[in-house]
């Protein structure tokens, strides 16, 4: 068969996270209009940012902007890099008790002198729209109503909206973080519309990683190393979800850096059936999930 025809048969489709998040945000905006029209309160998301990390500022700004787009109220609380753990826990307690705030997040990573676990556990699970609190992760595991962690929830939305068949497929995940890889393994395995996969969760101690990834019908990459996955690591026709986002120095860019995913896109994309780009893939969906969780919080369907 001529090469060009083979290529046509296997046309790769880009999964457009930016467009999907826009569509979902319009749906949320409609719901907000309905709520306020009926005299209800506008959903309100608060975000706490400690310090001046460049990437964190970008993400938090995009969350505030998304709130405006969907008609949410938003509050950004900025604290100095040297804020004490005690002070941050006070701010968390205030937000827990503030009836005007439906949900809030504390942007991670936090400065080294603050215990992230302690802060996460201090957040009222009913307001934990990040879905990081042990109570909410536990509920997820038990299929109880809860807030799903933002990035995994965004990925599920993408797979669902692109009608990607997951049932009975082999899903390989790279990275076992508490906020992406680990919850993703639970969601892909559970008995749900998107789910029913046979899941392999790989990590730094996995013996022959490429042997595992080559088996994947769906490959989810979340280890945070730019261009880690190369063409030889994937089989033809795989669905690839790239969660990584690393700033790499690039003098040709106005910002001085380029954003790179965990997948070497140019060489891997031609082998994929579906693939998420970076930027414009999973990132915008993460923000969108926060909006969905905040709407859920405001509607009183508490975790
Ligand atoms: N408590 C907490 N909750 C989070 O949800 C959380 C966090 N901490 N810490 C950091 C990670 C990362 N994250 C992203 C959000 C948006 C984009 C995003 O919008 N990315 C754009 C590009 C943005 C850019 O230009 O840098 C894109 O991929 O197209 C990416 C990553 C949320 N996180």
What is the atom index within ligand 1 of the atom nearest the CA of 280? 29
Of all residues in the chain, the percent with pLDDT exceeding 90 is 94
∠78-83-85 over CA atoms, to 5°?
Answer: 115
- Alpha carbon nearest to ligand 1 atom 11, residue: 108
Is 279's C-beta closer than 6 angstroms to any atom of ligand 1? yes
Distance CA 208, CA 173 (A): 14
Binding residue ranges for NADP(+): 175-177, 245
- Is the omega angle on the peptide bond into residue 211 within 30 degrees of 0, that is, cis? no
∠302-199-149 over CA atoms, to 5°?
Answer: 25
- Alpha carbon nearest to ligand 1 atom 2, residue: 107
In DSSP terms, 274 is beta-bridged to: 13, 239
Mean pLDDT is lowest, of 2-11, 91-100, 138-147, 150-159, for 2-11
What is the atom index within ligand 1 of the atom nearest the CA of 150? 5
Could you give the ipTM of this predicted complex?
0.94
- Alpha carbon nearest to ligand 1 atom 30, residue: 283
Q: Average pLDDT of 26-42?
A: 96
Res. 43: pLDDT tops 60 = yes
Mean pLDDT (the chain, rounded)? 95
Instruction: Provide the pLDDT confidence category of residue 178 given band limits of 50, 70 and 90.
Output: very high
pTM recorded for the entire structure: 0.95
Q: Where in the chain is the domain with CATH 3.40.50.10860?
A: 39-127
Of all residues in the chain, the percent with pLDDT exceeding 70 is 96
CATH architecture of 39-127: 3-Layer(aba) Sandwich (3.40)
- Measuring CA to CA, which residue among 138, 141, 114 is closest to residue 128? 138
Active site residue 82: no
Catalytic residue among 124, 128, 130, 217: 130
Pocket of ligand 1, candidates 132, 250, 286: which has the most ligand atoms within 8 Å of its Cβ, to mutate? 286
The per-residue DSSP string of 198-233 comes to EEEEE-TT-S-HHHHHTT-SEEEE-S--TT-B-GGG
Q: Exposure string (b/e) for 21-44, b if CB count within 10 Å is 16 or more?
A: beebbeebeebbeebeeeeeeebb
Catalytic residue among 107, 124, 139, 296: 107
Active site residue 63: yes
- Separation in Å, CA 159 to CA 20, 100, 129, 260, 274: 11, 34, 21, 22, 10
Count how many Cα atoms sit within 13 Å of the Cα of residue 63 in the half-sphere of its side chain.
32
Three-state helix/strand/coil letters over 135-200: HHHHHHHCCCCCCCCHHHHHHHHHHHHCCCCCCCCEEEEECCCCCCHHHHHHHHHCCCCCCCCEEE
Instruction: Provide the pLDDT confidence category of residue 301 given band limits of 50, 70 and 90.
Output: low
Res. 2: pLDDT tops 70 = no
Q: How far is the CA of 287 from the centre of ligand 1 (A)?
A: 7
Homologous superfamily of domain range 149-282: NAD(P)-binding Rossmann-like Domain (3.40.50.720)
Q: How many CB atoms lie within 10 A of CB 196?
A: 17
Q: Where in the chain is the domain with CATH 3.40.50.720?
A: 149-282
Active site residue 117: no
Pocket of ligand 1, candidates 122, 147, 151, 245: which has the most ligand atoms within 8 Å of its Cβ, to mutate? 245
Instruction: Provide the pLDDT confidence category of residue 300 given band limits of 50, 70 and 90.
Output: confident
Give the helix, strand, coil percentages of the chain, each rounded to 5: 45, 20, 40
Q: How far is the CA of 59 from the centre of ligand 1 (A)?
A: 5
Res. 7: pLDDT tops 70 = no
The per-residue DSSP string of 98-116 comes to -TT--EEEEPSSPPTTS-H
Is 280's C-beta closer than 6 angstroms to any atom of ligand 1? yes
Is 57's C-beta closer than 6 angstroms to any atom of ligand 1? no
What is the atom index within ligand 1 of the atom nearest the CA of 151? 5
């Amino acid at each position: 068969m001529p090469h060009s025809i083979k290529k046509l048969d296997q046309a790769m489709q880009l999964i457009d996270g930016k467009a999907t998040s826009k569509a979902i945000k319009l749906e949320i905006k409609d719901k907000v209009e309905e709520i306020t029209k009926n005299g209800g309160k506008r959903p309100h998301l608060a975000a706490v940012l400690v310090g001046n990390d460049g990437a964190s500022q970008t993400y938090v700004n995009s969350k505030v902007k998304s709130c405006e787009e969907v008609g949410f109220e938003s509050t950004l609380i900025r604290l100095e890099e040297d804020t004490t753990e005690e002070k941050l826990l006070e701010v968390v307690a205030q937000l827990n008790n503030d009836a005007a705030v439906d949900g809030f997040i504390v942007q991670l990573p936090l400065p080294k002198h603050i215990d992230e676990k302690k802060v996460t556990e201090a957040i009222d699970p009913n307001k934990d729209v990040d879905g990081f609190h042990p109570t909410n992760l536990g509920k997820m595991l038990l299929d109880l109503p809860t807030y799903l962690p933002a990035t995994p929830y965004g990925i599920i939305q993408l797979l669902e909206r692109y009608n990607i068949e997951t049932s009975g497929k082999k899903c390989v995940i790279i990275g076992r973080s508490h906020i992406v890889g680990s919850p993703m393994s639970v969601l892909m395995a559970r008995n749900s519309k998107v789910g029913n996969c046979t899941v392999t969760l790989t990590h730094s101690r996995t013996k022959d990683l490429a042997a595992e990834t080559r088996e994947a019908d769906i490959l989810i990459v979340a280890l945070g190393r730019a261009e880690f996955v190369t063409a030889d690591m994937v089989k033809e026709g795989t669905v690839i979800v790239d969660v990584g986002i690393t700033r790499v120095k690039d003098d040709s860019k106005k910002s001085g850096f380029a954003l790179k995913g965990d997948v070497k896109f140019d060489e891997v994309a031609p082998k994929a059936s579906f693939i998420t780009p970076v930027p414009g893939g999973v990132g915008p969906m993460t923000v969108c999930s926060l909006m969905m969780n905040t709407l859920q919080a405001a509607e009183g369907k508490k975790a």
